[in-house]
Amino acid sequence: MAARLQIDWTRCDGHGLCAALLPDSIGRDDWGYPVLDERRLAGEPVAAVKRAVACCPALALRLERVPART
């Protein structure tokens, strides 16, 4: 996927929906905040990642395009 999941840490409250929706690539730290596994995330279907973005109750997730390497 040529996009990266970005977290706005000032918004994230650690609700944990993203981790529940993408359990293989998003874990949670000692306080419930998401811990991204970038490598595994890159293998997730874009639709699944988009669903996690849309479901975040704090609107803290964003898919950001990664400029193509030249």
Partner 1 sequence: MTAVLNSQRLVPVGYVGTPRLLRALDLLDPAEHLAAHGPLPVLDRAGLLGLLGAAPLAGRGGAGFPLAAKVRGLRAGPAPVVVVNGAEGEPVSAKDRALLGRAPHLVLDGAQLLAGAVGARSILVAVGDPALAGLLERVLAGRPRVSKLDVEVREVPDRFVTGEARALVSALNGGAALPPGRRVLPTEHGVGGRPTLVCNTETLAQLAVLARIGPAAFAATGTRGEPGTTLLTVTGAVANPGVLEVPLGTRLGDVAAAVGAQPSQAVVIGGYHGMWLRPAPKLELSRAGLARDGGTLGAGVVIFVGERTCPLGELTRVAGWLAGESARQCGPCTFGLPALAGELRRLAGGTPVKRNALRMADLVTGRGACAHPDGAARFIRSALGQLTEELQLHQAYGSCRRSDLGQLATTRTVW
Rg for the chain, CA atoms, rounded: 12
Dist CA 22 CA 43 (whole Å): 11
Q: Which residues pair with 35 in a beta bridge?
A: 27
Choose the stretch contacting partner 1; rule: CB under 8 A; options: 18-26, 30-38, 43-51: 30-38
Q: Is 39 in the site for partner 1 (CB under 8 A)?
A: no
Q: Which residues pair with 24 in a beta bridge?
A: none
Q: Is 38 in the site for partner 1 (CB under 8 A)?
A: no
Which of 33, 42, 50, 53 contacts partner 1 by CB under 8 A?
A: 33
Choose the stretch contacting partner 1; rule: CB under 8 A; options: 9-17, 18-26, 45-53: 9-17
